[in-house]
Structure 1
Amino acid sequence: MITAVDGNFDQALLRQAFGAFPSGVTAFCGLIDGVPEGMAASSFTSVSLDPPLVSVCVANTSATWPRLAELERLGLSVLADEHTTVARSLASKSGDRFADVDWTSTDTGAVFVHGSTLWLECVPFKRVEAGDHEIVVLQIVALAVYPDVAPMVFHRSNFHGLATAG
């Protein structure tokens, strides 16, 4: 067991603590001048049923988010357990992030990754400054669920699939 009290911890220990909680992995994408732009985000969560809202947390240092923030529609794909290379590509800081990604887009410019377990087409709803990140709240305007596709899980800084119950 590792403990820290009274704020006596560094970012490495805090990252380790946050890593104890598994999360899904999403691709957060849109078209800019006809070209796909996007990033991976594991800080995705549902927010509200009425109106239908989700959120993603984005680092203030992100070079991608300021470009995506200008778009009227965004696609959010919950990645499948087979999307490890897609997640790594979308998380990279350089190169063509979509070079080996099988993707599609809507007429409104939302970009989705084929083979995902969920697609959410969203419009920006609210942005909230939160420390070294921004909480981006999105309103869902369309969705496609693929219930037979198992999601990817991010846990302790690694990608995993879900074990089947048995």
Structure 2
Amino acid sequence: MALRTTFALFPSGVAALSAIVDSGDGPEPVVLVASSFQVGISLDPPLVLFAVQHTSTSWPKLKAGATAGGRIGVSVLGEAHDLAARQLASKAADRFAGIDTTTLDSRANFVHGAPVWLECSIYSEVPAGDHDVVLLQVHAMGNAPDTEPLVWHSSAFRTLTPKATA
């Protein structure tokens, strides 16, 4: 499919959107991994966005938790998260096994070692073909500027390699 191949050549960051949500068995962490995450959508109010497929099984759970008063933790993943990103995006029963996280009182859940973290609520959702575009309002943030990002490019996780200086 030419369109998919062409779109795959656009490099993007990788974000894990996560929260603790109530399920039939009690509170559980839910995660959605997105390479469609974008920052700088608006400064007032501070907005970021991501796109999610209509077939996602994680988004309805995250959305329900957020609309019930919780918040979503966005961890922009770093180069050390290659294996963690694969695990978090998998269909495994315990996608967080062996992955260190921090959960805030707001139920936003964050992956340790991320270069950027954002505590967000849902601002709006817009249908867009076979996806929905979700705008999130940022309420709190943190960063680790010396941590290199994980990049999704050509259907693979990659890292940035700094240019050699003369």
TM-score normalised by the chain length of structure 2: 0.90
Residue 33 (structure 2) pairs with residue 40 (structure 1): yes
**One-letter identity of the residue aligned with 2:88:** L
The 5 A counterparts of 1:13-52 are 13-33=2-22, 34-46=27-39, 47-52=41-46
Q: Hey, what does 2:91 align to over in structure 1?
A: 93
- For the aligned residues, what is the CA RMSD? 0.9
**One-letter identity of the residue aligned with 2:102:** T
Unaligned 5+ runs, structure 1: 1-11
- 1:69 match: secondary structure: helix
| Alpha-carbon distance between aligned partners in 2 of 1:124 and 1:45, rounded to the nearest angstrom | 15
Displacement of 1:165 in angstroms is 2.6
Equivalent residue for 1:64, pick from 53, 58, 64: 58
Displacement of 1:159 in angstroms is 0.4
Displacement of 1:95 in angstroms is 2.1
Deviations 1:120-164 (A, max 9, x none): 000100000001101010000000011010000000000011011
- 1:159 match: secondary structure: strand
| Alpha-carbon distance between aligned partners in 1 of 2:160 and 2:146, rounded to the nearest angstrom | 13
Q: Hey, what does 1:154 align to over in structure 2?
A: 152
Q: Percent same amino acid at aligned positions?
A: 47
| Alpha-carbon distance between aligned partners in 2 of 1:165 and 1:53, rounded to the nearest angstrom | 31
Q: Hey, what does 1:5 align to over in structure 2?
A: none
| Alpha-carbon distance between aligned partners in 2 of 1:14 and 1:86, rounded to the nearest angstrom | 28
**Count of equivalent residues:** 155
Greater fraction of residues in helix: 2
Unaligned 5+ runs, structure 2: none
**One-letter identity of the residue aligned with 2:54:** N
| Alpha-carbon distance between aligned partners in 1 of 2:97 and 2:38, rounded to the nearest angstrom | 27
